[in-house]
Amino acid sequence: MRLLGQLALLGLLLAAPIFSYADSRISAYTLMSPSNQAMQNDMNLNPAMFWIMDGEALWADRNNPSNKACVDCHRDAKQSMKGVSATFPKRVQGKLLNLEGQINQCRTTRQQLPTLAYESKPLLALSTLIAYQSRGLAIAASRDSALEPDLQKGKLLYFQRMGQLNLSCAQCHDERAGLKLAGSVIPQAHPTGYPIYRLEWQNVGSLQRRLRNCMSGVRAEQYAYGSLELSQIELYLMQRANGMRIESPAVRP
């Protein structure tokens, strides 16, 4: 009997490593009510659908000095943009760019147009259209070794205390994920669904808008839109969420 017990224990110990390989990362999608989940899943109900339609109109817009629309180089976004947002941020011609940065780079260099401001309707429309084409695919964070310094800086910022509340991202989203803050469950903070339609904003918004929200939440002075710091934090978050399924455009409370 004692031997049997010891064998059983051995079996359990051998089985344990298999369970520890399971991915413990979960999306905030699981924390939402069924009705909000349905709103996200069904593009017929998802408010972000209008931004996608606006994006489709802009994709074909030739009204610029170069007379070139996105469609002229990239053809049908449904094909060419598949998997694209999954790889951002990354190094493009020596510069760390997120998706918004890449869109603006195309606009300025190929279309001779001025950059679009963060959270402006046209930029959100284009980023939502592009990110939507990666829905259902896994985040494929770039393995470029040239990204290492930015990645380390992003990680440093993630673990660094900030603001009057003197909290780091890690303290809430790593150490206390699953616990409650003011009645809401703290998510693990994986950027799987950006740009999101946030019910709070009654609007679609970028990851940078959400990060600035977090910073104001701990009473820290927010990094500017398009700043290197925000891109570095984005980079770290995407690497941390590497392999998770993209839900863009997600709905969040």
Partner 1 sequence: MSRSSRAVVTLPKTAKQGEVFEIRAIVQHEMESGFRHTEQGVRVARDIIREFVCTYNGKEVFRSELHPGIGSNPLFIFYAKAEQSGSLEFKWTGDDNYLTIVKQTITVL
Partner 2 sequence: MNQRRFFITSLTTLSLSPWQSASATPSEAMQAMQRIVGNRPVNTGRIYFDLPPLVENGNLVAIKIAVQSPMTQNDYVKAIHVIAEANPLPNVVSCYFTPLSGKAEVSTRIRLADSQKVWALAQMSDDSFWRTSVDTVVTLSACTEMI
Q: Which residues bind partner 1 (CB under 8 A)?
A: 44-45, 47, 49-50, 53, 202
Task: Give residues 26-45 in contact with partner 2 (rule: CB under 8 A).
Answer: 32-33, 35-36, 38-39
* CB 57, CB 121: distance < 8 Å: no
Q: Is position 119 an interface residue for partner 2 (rule: CB under 8 A)?
A: yes
CA 28, 40, 206, 193 torsion: positive or negative? positive
| Residues in 202-231 at the binding interface with partner 2, rule: CB under 8 A | 202, 213-214, 216-217, 222, 224-226
Token match 């019910």: residue?
199
Residue 138's alpha-carbon distances to 62, 122, 129, in angstroms, are 32, 26, 17
Residue 183 in contact with partner 2, rule: CB under 8 A: yes
CB under 8 A: which stretch of 56-64, 74-82, 91-99, 111-119 binds partner 2? 111-119
Name the minimum Å distance from CB 247 to partner 2: 17
Report the candidate in 222, 201, 219 with the shortest Cα–Cα distance to residue 211.
222
**Cα 241 from Cα 25, distance rounded (Å):** 8
Q: Select from partner 1, partner 2, none the partner in contact with residue 220, using the beta carbon and a kind-dependent cut-off of 5 to 8 Å.
A: none
165 binding partner 2? (CB under 8 A): no
Helix, strand, coil abundance in the chain, percent, nearest 5: 50, 10, 40
From partner 1, partner 2, none, which one binds at residue 181 (CB under 5 to 8 Å depending on kind)?
partner 2
Nearest to 85 by CA among 105, 103, 73, 69: 103
Looking at the Cβ atoms of 63 and 202, the one nearer to partner 2 is: 202
7 vs 117, which CB is nearer to partner 2?
A: 117
What does the block give as tokens for 6? 């010891």
Number of residues counted as binding partner 2 (CB under 8 A): 30
By beta-carbon proximity to partner 2, the closer residue of 154 and 187 is: 187
Distance (Å, whole) CA 108 – CA 35: 41
* Residue with smaller CB distance to partner 2, 108 or 216: 216
C-alpha–C-alpha distance, residues 189 and 180, integer Å: 14
Residues that bind partner 2 (CB under 8 A): 32-33, 35-36, 38-39, 47, 117-120, 181-184, 186, 199-202, 213-214, 216-217, 222, 224-226, 252-253
